């Protein structure tokens, strides 16, 4: 509720007009029966045609104003609800942008998607109901009740008898629907998770003919979602007939009692008609107000989930007034760095890593899978923070930098090349938004991507499909490398970025990068010894420990781990034996 209130109060002007429309609408709705009763008890009873005509015209004007009020109410209400949900979505999106990897893993990507989309939508539905029904019904109820008592206190007493039953029903439904709503949203998250995994892994699923298994997996979660939704809807829909039964019973009883009073001459016909209208408004308002309570638990669950995501603080914090400029560019030093993933403090993935690199140098990392290579280089742009020790970039601890300034120094090409939907130009400009087309083409050339880019009919304006699916794995890798080159960073980080390239392209690419990066530091993670043989320094990792540092030739002699890797990939001549 705090969340909804916070965002709703940002629309104070619209709220005021919303309130005015509600108020006007109530006066009109309750004014009409009063006019009708006047028409019958004065005009019809005295056969006064002129009076009947006059009241009729007034009623017509009141109806027109009522329609206008209703239309305006719809307008203000939808403006507020769309403003509120758009702001929630935008703020949540911005918050998520600031998350470090840890928070994405903690909350889960599918759950975050559901929070930004479906949870925000649930809030919109609730707000629509709240701003119309929630504002209108309490006022309408009280005003109708006053009119009821004023018109006939004895008949009004029957309404008061029915109210506690209605109240008990509303409270019971609110209580039962809360856990059901929670369950439904949780199942919706799981459904999203499976769907996302399935769609992104469609090729693998087909290649392994695993469609049936996937359908079963999806079916199970879908059934659970269906069951929880069914229970919730069943509860909601069973409430309505119950309310209507009570409603109609009270009405029938009042008409019966009213008829007796008319017969006895203690009540006029017009008054009974107006009375029935007031009762209708009072009970109907109460019933409609109960929908707020029914919808609230669902919206509250969604609001809590959004609030939780808003309150989640990234473990990587940007230092206030962090360093933005340095005297040198491209110097890197790891000083006794130990790192364990959050929540796994007992099992460090990197232990006591110490090494350095300077501009003009290429430093490579090799080791078996899972030895910690990707983890180690992710510590440099602060995707994670070290557990112990420090990482210095140009003599400054990475934690003392303004994060944007630190990352601006780095051209990071991740293991899995990521392209975004949009044009090729837009993708490359991620590296440097001010780069000219000439600079983009030069980066493409360095990344050995000219051959296929030159064949694209639309050149830099070529549309890239979602996830870059209209490019091959090797083409995507080269475009991701071109994007890093566009930045002309001080520090290049290639995380196994050449793995999808053939040997010849790999060699040409490294040769060009060597030439173009004489003033920059290049870090290369690779599985292929041939990719890193020429590096100035190779760092060998084994289960998170640095077990060898040296050139290819030195390591062949000094590191058995390196020798084993090299001898499994190179011929005897290449090994110099």
Ligand X SMILES: Nc1ncnc2c1ncn2[C@@H]1O[C@H](COP(=O)(O)OP(=O)(O)OP(=O)(O)O)[C@@H](O)[C@H]1O
Which residues form the interface with ligand X (CB under 6 A)? 105, 341, 344, 349, 367, 369-375
Smallest gap from residue 306 Cβ to ligand X (A): 25
Residue among 42 and 383 whose Cβ is closer to ligand X = 383
Range list of β-strands (E), 496-566: 521-525, 537-542, 545-550
**H helix runs in 98-134, sequence order:** 101-107, 109-114, 120-129
Whose Cβ is closer to ligand X: residue 372's or residue 431's?
Answer: 372
Beta-carbon count within 10 A of 293 CB: 17
Angle formed by the axes of helices 473-487 and 503-516, nearest 10°: 0
With a CB cutoff of 8 Å and minimum separation 6, the contacts of 234 are none
Q: How far is the CB of 96 from ligand X (least distance, A)?
A: 17
Least CB distance from residue 490 to ligand X, whole Å?
23
| 204: Cβ contacts below 8 Å, ≥ 6 apart | 210
CB of 496 to ligand X, least distance (A): 6
Least distance in angstroms from the C-beta of 367 to ligand X: 6
Q: Which is nearer to ligand X, 326 or 527 (CB)?
A: 527
**CB count in 10 Å sphere of residue 440:** 24
Q: How far is the CB of 533 from ligand X (least distance, A)?
A: 18
- With 0-12 CB in 10 A as exposed, 13-18 as middle and 19+ as buried, what is 61? exposed
**Backbone phi, then psi, for 447, in 5-degree steps?**
-80, 10
Nearer to ligand X, 356 or 374 (CB): 374
DSSP 549: E
Torsion of CA 333, 335, 340, 341, to 10 degrees: -30
CB of 540 to ligand X, least distance (A): 11
70 vs 106 by CB, closer to ligand X: 106
Rounded least distance, CB 397 to ligand X, Å: 22
Three-state DSSP at 332 gives: strand
Q: CA neighbours within 13 Å on the CB side: how many for 447?
A: 29
Nearest Cα residue to 42 out of 278, 261, 269: 269
Cα gap 136→74, rounded to integer Å: 12
- Please say which residue, 274 or 565, places its beta carbon nearer to ligand X: 565
> Nearest distance from residue 532's CB to ligand X, in Å?
13
Query: What are the angstrom distances between the C-alpha of 266 and each of 47, 109, 257?
Result: 21, 70, 11
Q: Shortest approach of ligand X to residue 495 CB, angstroms?
A: 7
Residues forming a β-bridge with 522: 362, 492
Tell me the closest approach of the beta carbon of residue 489 to ligand X, in angstroms. 21
Task: Supply the DSSP symbol for 50.
Answer: H
CA–CA dist 406, 323 (Å, integer): 8
Nearer to ligand X, 184 or 375 (CB): 375
Instruction: Name the minimum Å distance from CB 406 to ligand X.
Output: 20
Nearer to ligand X, 373 or 478 (CB): 373
Measured from the CB of residue 90, what is the shortest distance to ligand X in angstroms?
Answer: 28
Burial class (CB in 10 A: 0-12, 13-18, 19+), 343: exposed
Q: Which residues are CB-contacts of 507 (< 8 A; sequence separation ≥ 6)?
A: 530
Question: Which residue, among 399, 402, 449, has the nearest Cα to 424 in the 3D structure?
Answer: 449
CB 3 within 8 A of CB 307: yes
Minimal distance, residue 446 CB to ligand X, in Å: 25
**Minimum distance of ligand X from residue 339's CB (angstroms):** 9
How far is 542 from 561, CA to CA, in rounded Å?
A: 8
CB nearer to ligand X: pick between 386 and 444: 386
First to last CA, the chain: 74
**For residues 480 and 12, what is the distance between their CA atoms, to the nearest angstrom?**
47
Nearest partner of 358 among 162, 527, 520, 163, judged by Cα: 520
85 versus 531: smaller Cβ distance to ligand X: 531
What are the angstrom distances between the C-alpha of 262 and each of 248, 257, 259, 537, 550? Answer: 21, 9, 5, 105, 108
Q: Closest by alpha carbon to 468, among 409, 417, 533?
A: 417
């Amino acid at each position: 509720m705090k969340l909804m209130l916070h965002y709703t109060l940002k629309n104070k002007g619209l709220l005021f007009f919303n309130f005015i429309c509600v108020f006007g609408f109530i006066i009109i709705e309750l004014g009409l029966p009063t006019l009708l009763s006047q028409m019958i008890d004065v005009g019809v009873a005295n056969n006064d045609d002129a009076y009947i005509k006059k009241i009729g015209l007034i009623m017509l004007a009141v109806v027109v104003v009522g329609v206008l009020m209703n239309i305006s109410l719809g307008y203000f209400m939808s403006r507020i609800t769309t403003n509120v949900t758009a702001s929630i979505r935008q703020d949540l999106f911005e918050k998520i942008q600031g998350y470090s990897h840890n928070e994405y893993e903690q909350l889960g990507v599918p759950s975050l998607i559901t929070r930004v989309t479906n949870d925000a939508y649930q809030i919109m539905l609730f707000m629509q109901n709240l701003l119309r029904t929630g504002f209108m019904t309490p006022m309408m109820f009280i005003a109708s009740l006053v009119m009821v008592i004023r018109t006939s206190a004895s008949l009004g007493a029957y309404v008061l008898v029915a109210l506690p039953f209605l109240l008990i029903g509303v409270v019971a439904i609110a209580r039962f629907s809360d856990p059901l709503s929670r369950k439904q949203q949780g199942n919706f998250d799981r459904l999203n998770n499976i769907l996302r995994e399935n769609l992104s892994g469609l090729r693998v699923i087909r290649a392994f003919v695993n469609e049936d298994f996937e359908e079963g997996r999806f079916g199970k979660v879908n059934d659970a979602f269906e069951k929880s939704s069914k229970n919730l809807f069943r509860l909601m829909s069973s409430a309505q007939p119950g309310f209507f039964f009570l409603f109609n019973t009270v009405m029938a009883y009042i008409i019966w009692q009213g008829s007796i009073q008319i017969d006895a001459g203690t009540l006029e016909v017009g008054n009974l008609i107006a009375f029935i209208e007031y009762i209708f408004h009072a009970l109907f308002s109460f019933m409609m107000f109960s929908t707020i309570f029914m919808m609230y638990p669902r919206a509250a669950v969604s609001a809590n989930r959004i609030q939780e995501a808003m309150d989640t603080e990234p473990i990587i914090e940007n230092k206030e007034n962090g360093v933005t400029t340095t005297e040198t560019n491209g110097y890197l030093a790891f000083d006794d760095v130990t790192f364990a993933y959050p929540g796994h403090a007992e099992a460090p993935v990197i232990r006591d890593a110490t090494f350095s690199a300077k501009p003009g140098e290429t430093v490579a990392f090799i080791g078996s899978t899972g030895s910690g290579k990707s983890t180690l280089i992710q510590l440099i742009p602060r995707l994670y923070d070290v557990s112990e020790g420090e990482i210095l970039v140009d003599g400054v601890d990475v934690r003392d930098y303004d994060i944007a300034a630190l990352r601006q120094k780095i051209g990071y090409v991740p293991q899995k090349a990521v392209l975004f939907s949009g044009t090729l130009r837009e993708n490359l400009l991620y590296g440097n938004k001010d780069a000219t087309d000439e600079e983009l083409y030069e980066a493409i050339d360095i990344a050995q991507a000219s051959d296929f880019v030159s064949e694209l009919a639309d050149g830099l304006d070529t549309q890239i499909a979602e996830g870059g699916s209209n490019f091959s794995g090797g083409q995507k890798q080269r475009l991701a490398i071109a994007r890093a080159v566009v930045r002309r960073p001080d520090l290049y980080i290639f995380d196994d970025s050449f793995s999808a390239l053939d040997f010849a392209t790999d060699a040409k690419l490294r040769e060009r990068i060597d030439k173009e990066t004489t003033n920059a530091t290049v870090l290369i993670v690779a599985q292929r010894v041939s990719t890193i043989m020429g590096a100035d320094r190779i760092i060998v990792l084994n289960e998170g420990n640095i077990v060898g540092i040296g050139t290819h030739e030195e390591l062949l002699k000094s590191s058995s781990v390196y020798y084993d890797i090299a001898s499994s990939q190179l011929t005897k001549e290449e090994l110099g034996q």
